[in-house]
Structure 1
Amino acid sequence: MLLHLVSPLLKPTSSVPHPRIIITSSGLHTKVPASSVASLPTILKSPSTLSMERYRSTKFTQMANAHYWKSTLKTRDVDVVAISPGFVPTSGLNRESSAWTRFFLRWVLWWFPFVSTDEQGNSAIPSLVTAEADQALEDPPLSKWLQETRSNDGVLYIDVHGKPINPHPAMLEQGRALWHEWSPSIETIRAWQ
């Protein structure tokens, strides 16, 4: 609802040529099987759903929202970007896991190259907020990536290192129908209240 309310205010200015909406996401959205997309309402509402299954599903719906807003705001020169802070074992997502699993994630998994540190995860969004301002200082890959995304409807998702991540296949196959299903209008949201 917040985006519906503030989106009319997002306009380029001389100091902010590309207003930006940043959505924190997760690579786990790609783990939602395409066959289960139709059952997402049940998964999201059921208290018996496993927490990780619900987490993946919420991240999937966030990505559908991101695609919707990118498509909707494209003509207004507003950047819509989803960023993953990376796989951070200490995020608390494992709180329902066994003691052994929590120990492994906290103390052993740090040695694997695909793991992000707390610091990397925490710096992901601020680095994206200041990407183009930082370009004059060091030309970070994020500013180059942002320029590329403005001309490409499909790419809007990056990891903590600024590497583009392909969207879930269902996002491309079902396109706008899926985006609109998970991005209700302001009228629909108000009717829910």
Structure 2
Amino acid sequence: MTRALFIIDVQNDFTEGGALGVDGGDAVAAGISRFLDAHADEYSLVVASRDWHDPDNDNGGHFHESPDYVDTWPEHCVAGTDGAEYHPELSVDEVDVHVRKGQGEPAYSIFEGTDDSGATVAHILADRGIVDVDVVGIATDYCVRASALDGVSHGRHIRVFTDLVAGVAAESSDAALAEMAHAGVDITTTDEAFAS
């Protein structure tokens, strides 16, 4: 078994009531926990990422007082704040590697982050011989999209489970799913992927 699960940015600031909360974020957090209860043994590696932005600068222009919500954003997921923590409904008991990204710079893809030892996700996957990766989390049209596309560019076979993602907006999420599919990502659901 050499399949990994990426859990992308299921954090308080990206779920309902957070600084950049998306509709459905709470449900995604709870859904991922239920999925792990049933399927954690299907994975040789579970990696969870978090935005972890510096508190004392604009993180390379990522934070802006008048954000355009495309390239610039209000302050969110500041290191050490409640907003940067995992959503309370997300069980992290099965997480093997915790990745932080966006430390002083814009970062969307899990591949832009590092674990506590400084290892990159690409290195971790290569070290364990993992080619197949499933992706869930937030947000479909930003960090899920970037992580899935980076996975393809790193030569991995990527699946995105549409029942365990939530996006900022319906139109941009649909466009992101179409872009990912065009790049070779398998867009599916957990029921389809794990049909007995």
Q: Check whether TM > 0.5.
A: no
Larger proportion of strand: 2
TM-score category, normalised to shorter length: 0.3 to 0.5
Could you tell me the TM-score, scaled by structure 1's length? 0.32
- Structure of larger gyration radius: 1
